[in-house]
Chain A
Amino acid sequence: MIDPKRVLRALAEHWSLLDPLCERFDSGTLSLVELRAQLAAQRGTADAAEITALLDQWIRLDILVPVAKSPNRFELNAQIHDFLAYLRREHRLGLCLEIEAYLRHLERLAGHIQEAFAQRDSQDLARQLRLLDMRVRDVLKKLANDEQALVGVAERAKTSDRQIPLRQRYAEVLATWDEYVEPMIQLVAADGAFEQGVRRAEQVLLHLLGEQQRLGQLVDDDLLLRTHARILDMQTTAQLTLRRARELLLPLREEARRHNAVTRGAALALAAIRRKGLDGVPQAALPLFSRPQSIFLGTANQVEAYVYALARFEAKPAHFPRAGGTRRHMPSRAPLTAREMIERCEQALPLPDLMQWLLDQVPEGATDELLYWFSRLSRDSRFQRERLARRDYLTREHQVSLSSYALTGRQA
């Protein structure tokens, strides 16, 4: 057995060296060379013998232990590491599963207590009650530690560099939420393992109190009442821890979600604009501005010009359809502009045959119009094109023979 006094003395004596080492060990193991370099830097000495003696002492006292299968690498003994973390007020977030395991154990202990009482075995009953009490204390300790660890998670997210991406900054928050808070919500829910375990232990203890009054005491009532009170305390603490976790992390999680939503929304809007133009963004979403309105009278010159323009106003001659004329077409559509046509063409890329595509697009189009578009689109510098073999195409009125183009994509 290692003498506790010697361990404690070594920790106290070498605290100034161990404290910074803890941080290094938090992020992994250290090789013998790294350890030596670290200690030499801290002590400001290059005396190898002195450092070797120090390391020997730590290894003998089990403060430092070799890493399994890597004898040249060392880590802090897990027990010592926990103790030092406690002293340094460092809290590592545990797993929700650990709490669940403790609670399952509580349920089993409640069963053992019931059996011991049924067999009137006072010694076993006292032992099981002590175990139950210790287990509850373990849960309480763990909850307190987890709460502090959660505070640390939120603080790290809030104080980290604002310039780094939010996804990175809040990665720990999001992971903590998914891996700790969500399962805790399930655990502490009315039908979760926490409530079940607590209810079972509580029922057994209350039943025991009643039975002791009827059948005579096997253990001190105070022990039962204390354990019962601690279980209730544990239940309240779990709920408070969960509430605190939500208060701390929910706003950050929401901020991260909002950030993601804004970035995604912007990307969606740009994609829409690329495909459909500026009007591709739903107009209802855009903010409305009151337009700058002139509320002042113009200058005399402006008024004069306005009146002059009014006086010389001539209406454009209106063309009325002839009464007897038969309309061969439905109300005429406004022609497509070059911009619209190019947009359509861009959206339809790649086109295996431009002329054929035009015939599909404008089946009623006149030959000259189709040829105009063919010439316009095939010459457009924004498209990559490949010449095709000559063949015949049938427009509404003519048979046209030409070498069409395949538009393979945008010009890089």
Chain B
Amino acid sequence: MIIDLKEMTLLAAIFRELLKGGHISRRDAELYAQLNTLQDAYRALFKAQGFELVCDSRGFYYFVPEQMGAQVNKTAQRLALFTFILVEHLADQGRDPLSVLDGGSLGRDELPGLLDKYSDLFVQAEVASQDELEEKIMRRLTQLGFASEEQGVYRFLAPMHRFLDVCLAVQQDRDLAASLHSHLPLPTPALGDDSESASAAEDDDEEQQLARAIAAERAAQEDLQ
């Protein structure tokens, strides 16, 4: 295949956007139009560089990182959690979640209520205040091309389908459903292993450090014996 770089006038902008984990949809009209027109050329060029460009038929483009180095990062977990919460919140209110998340909008003024109602879940994602919700979730959504923000209104874009797909995948996960509906105890959580403690230690609070200290001391005593 012959790739004409002269035609790819927006290559730098497109690459920059995709490389940072962003999604290009109709919001970025120019980039999206060029990707649509020169889809094959862009895909071939990026493939040669080791990037897999995904052209989702629902109207957006993104890079799939190589499986080797890929891992679900905290951001993905946070954004997925936010999507689950929003779907349930809208359904509870008698609104249609799909029409909101597929091109619909959400006012910033709705965020405090959401945070209040689901504070126990947001805490797990280390989101405890409205500022953190906006900083760690809403800003990331707009940065990565899942939503756009204008005058206090967030409009959700086509890439949100990636998270709606997660809902569908979870719904089809019979094991998960079975484990939730079973009255048997859940499998005990895996004990933290040493390799991850280095990064985890930073987040630990005083009590966790104390627990570790007790264990370390006991191990040392055993060694001496």
Binding site for B on A (CB under 8 A): 162-166, 169, 255, 258-259, 261-279, 281-293, 295, 322, 325, 328-329, 332-341, 343-344, 347-348, 366, 368-369, 372, 376
Interface size on B, residues (CB 8 A): 73
Residue contact B97 to A259, C-beta cutoff 8 Å: yes
Which residues of B lie under 8 Å from residue A266 when comparing CB positions? 83-85, 87-88, 91, 97, 167, 170
Given contacts A259-B96, A263-B97, A278-B81, are A339 and B208 in contact (CB under 8 A)? yes
Residue contact B96 to A287, C-beta cutoff 8 Å: no
26 contacts between A and B (CB under 8 A): A164-B94, A166-B99, A262-B167, A265-B167, A266-B88, A270-B88, A271-B180, A272-B180, A275-B180, A281-B170, A284-B169, A285-B169, A286-B72, A287-B76, A287-B165, A288-B65, A288-B72, A289-B144, A290-B21, A290-B64, A293-B20, A334-B192, A334-B193, A336-B211, A338-B207, A347-B186
Query: Would you call B120 an interface residue if the criterion is a C-beta within 8 Å of the partner chain's C-beta atoms?
Result: yes
From B70, B96, B194, B222, A162 is in contact (CB under 8 Å) with B96
Residue contact B191 to A289, C-beta cutoff 8 Å: no
Residue contact A293 to B88, C-beta cutoff 8 Å: no
From A295, A329, A338, B222 is in contact (CB under 8 Å) with A329
Which residues of A lie under 8 Å from residue B171 when comparing CB positions? 261-262, 264-265, 268
Query: Would you call B75 an interface residue if the criterion is a C-beta within 8 Å of the partner chain's C-beta atoms?
Result: yes
Total A-B pairs, Cβ < 8 A: 197
Which has the most chain B C-beta neighbours within 10 Å: A266, A332, A337, A347?
A: A266
Query: Would you call B153 an interface residue if the criterion is a C-beta within 8 Å of the partner chain's C-beta atoms?
Result: no
Residue contact A325 to B173, C-beta cutoff 8 Å: no
Binds A, one of B26-34, B35-43, B130-138, B213-221: B213-221
Q: Determine the distance from Cα of A346 to Cα of B99 in the docked complex, in whole angstroms.
A: 36
Which has the most chain B C-beta neighbours within 10 Å: A162, A255, A258, A288?
A: A288
Given contacts A264-B171, A267-B88, are A289 and B214 in contact (CB under 8 A)? no
Task: Tell me which residues from 51 to 97 in chain B have a Cβ below 8 Å from any Cβ of chain A.
Answer: 51, 63-65, 70-73, 75-77, 80-81, 83-85, 87-88, 91, 94-97
Residue contact B20 to A165, C-beta cutoff 8 Å: no
A-B pairs, 9 with minimum CB distance = A265-B167, A265-B171, A335-B215, A266-B87, A285-B169, A289-B21, A290-B65, A265-B170, A266-B84
From A259, A272, A287, A376, B98 is in contact (CB under 8 Å) with A259
Instruction: Report B79 CB to chain A, min CB distance, Å.
Output: 8
Q: Name the CB-closest residue of B to A295.
A: B19
Q: Determine the distance from Cα of A275 to Cα of B20 in the docked complex, in whole angstroms.
A: 32
Query: Would you call B10 an interface residue if the criterion is a C-beta within 8 Å of the partner chain's C-beta atoms?
Result: no
Residue contact B207 to A291, C-beta cutoff 8 Å: no
Residue contact B73 to A165, C-beta cutoff 8 Å: no
Residue contact A262 to B215, C-beta cutoff 8 Å: no
Residue contact A287 to B211, C-beta cutoff 8 Å: no
Q: Determine the distance from Cα of A266 to Cα of B214 in the docked complex, in whole angstroms.
A: 40
Q: Name the CB-closest residue of B to A339.
A: B208
Q: Determine the distance from Cα of A275 to Cα of B210 in the docked complex, in whole angstroms.
A: 25
Q: Determine the distance from Cα of A292 to Cα of B81 in the docked complex, in whole angstroms.
A: 20
Task: Tell me which residues from 170 to 214 in chain B have a Cβ below 8 Å from any Cβ of chain A.
Answer: 170-173, 176-177, 179-180, 185-186, 188-189, 191-194, 197, 204-205, 207-208, 210-212, 214
Which residues of A lie under 8 Å from residue B170 when comparing CB positions? 265-266, 268-269, 272, 281-282, 285
Which residues of B lie under 8 Å from residue A366 when comparing CB positions? 218
From B65, B80, B208, B218, A281 is in contact (CB under 8 Å) with B80
From B19, B96, B167, B191, A261 is in contact (CB under 8 Å) with B167
Which residues of A lie under 8 Å from residue B172 when comparing CB positions? 261, 265
Which residues of B lie under 8 Å from residue A271 when comparing CB positions? 180
Residue contact A163 to B19, C-beta cutoff 8 Å: no
Instruction: Report B219 CB to chain A, min CB distance, Å.
Output: 6
Instruction: Report A378 CB to chain B, min CB distance, Å.
Output: 14
Residue contact A337 to B204, C-beta cutoff 8 Å: yes
From A165, A255, A259, A268, B180 is in contact (CB under 8 Å) with A268
Which residues of B lie under 8 Å from residue A284 when comparing CB positions? 169
Residue contact A334 to B88, C-beta cutoff 8 Å: no
Residue contact B73 to A273, C-beta cutoff 8 Å: no
Residue contact A162 to B75, C-beta cutoff 8 Å: no
Q: Determine the distance from Cα of A295 to Cα of B71 in the docked complex, in whole angstroms.
A: 19
Instruction: Report B55 CB to chain A, min CB distance, Å.
Output: 15
Residue contact B208 to A337, C-beta cutoff 8 Å: yes
Q: Determine the distance from Cα of A268 to Cα of B87 in the docked complex, in whole angstroms.
A: 11
Q: Name the CB-closest residue of B to A282.
A: B173
Q: Determine the distance from Cα of A279 to Cα of B62 in the docked complex, in whole angstroms.
A: 24
Beyond the given pairs A287-B162, A335-B212, 5 more chain A to chain B contacts, judged by CB atoms under 8 angstroms and listed by A's residue number, are A255-B98, A267-B88, A286-B80, A292-B20, A325-B223
